[in-house]
Structure 1
Amino acid sequence: MLGENIKLILGISDGDELIEVFISNAIYSIKNYLNNDNVSDEIVLEKYPNVIMELAIRAYMSRELGATGLKSITQGQRSVTFDSLSSPMAITDDLKAMLPTPYVRLF
């Protein structure tokens, strides 16, 4: 379902395997940001589908445009802006606002 929503937003009908790779990478990025070993892939899929979709869309658009340093593009109601130093899978401030505060480990 998440993959279908991403394809709908992007206006594409194929590319299932590529979208699944982007979803998997987005889940990994979110788990890495949250820094909590108790967060499973299923929890991320359930609680943060909008963040996953946004990361996957950014990755797809970056790949299609061939520019990881893209500054801005608007497609319909979607707008994507990349920093020249960040990757499309980076957890930016707008995505951090949709996620809980990362877990802090004390050693």
Structure 2
Amino acid sequence: MDFTLEQKKAIAIIKNYLNVVDNPTWTTEYIMDNYDFVVDQIIENSNAIKNLKPSAGILQARESNQSVTFKEGVEAWTITSDIASMLPKPFVKLFY
């Protein structure tokens, strides 16, 4: 199955968040079979944020009498609280 670039980005974010990058169980196909709704939500959130916040590094934007303020740390392609609630808890890696 071919995945779009946006789906690949979302899957990489999920793998990093869950600490399963090297885990053979958590393949791209496994994530798409079980968490496709999370992948779609990450893409939807990212597109919405990019439309509102087109340039990285801008802290405040004002146009006429309208301004937009974002919560700290809200960026495109991040795990937000709504996304985290749809995923299992991240795995803890133990090193000896």
TM-score (norm 2): 0.67
* Partner residue, 1:90: 78
**Alpha-carbon displacement from aligned partner over 1:44-101 (angstroms, at most 9, x marks no partner):** 10111111011111222233331568xxxxxxxxxxxx63423221111211111111
**Equivalent position SS for 2:90:** coil
Larger helix fraction of residues: 1
- Is the alpha carbon distance of 1:21 and 1:86 closer, same or farther for their aligned partners in structure 2, counting shifts above 3 Å? same
- Structure 1: runs of 5+ lacking an equivalent: 4-19, 70-81
- The residue type equivalent to 1:44 in the other structure is I
Of 23, 30, 34 in structure 1, the residue corresponding to residue 18 of structure 2 is 34
How many equivalent pairs are there? 77
**Equivalent position SS for 1:48:** helix
Separation (CA, whole Å) in 2 of partners of 1:93 and 1:63 = 18
- Is the alpha carbon distance of 1:29 and 1:84 closer, same or farther for their aligned partners in structure 2, counting shifts above 3 Å? same
- Structure 2: runs of 5+ lacking an equivalent: 59-69
Of 75, 96, 100 in structure 1, the residue corresponding to residue 88 of structure 2 is 100
- The residue type equivalent to 2:89 in the other structure is T
* Partner residue, 1:17: none
Separation (CA, whole Å) in 2 of partners of 1:25 and 1:87 = 14
Structure having greater relative contact order (Cα 8 Å, sep ≥ 6) = 2
- The yes-or-no answer on 1:48 pairing with 2:32 is no
Q: Which runs of 4+ in 1 moved over 6 A?
A: none
Separation (CA, whole Å) in 1 of partners of 2:48 and 2:88 = 26
* Partner residue, 1:77: none
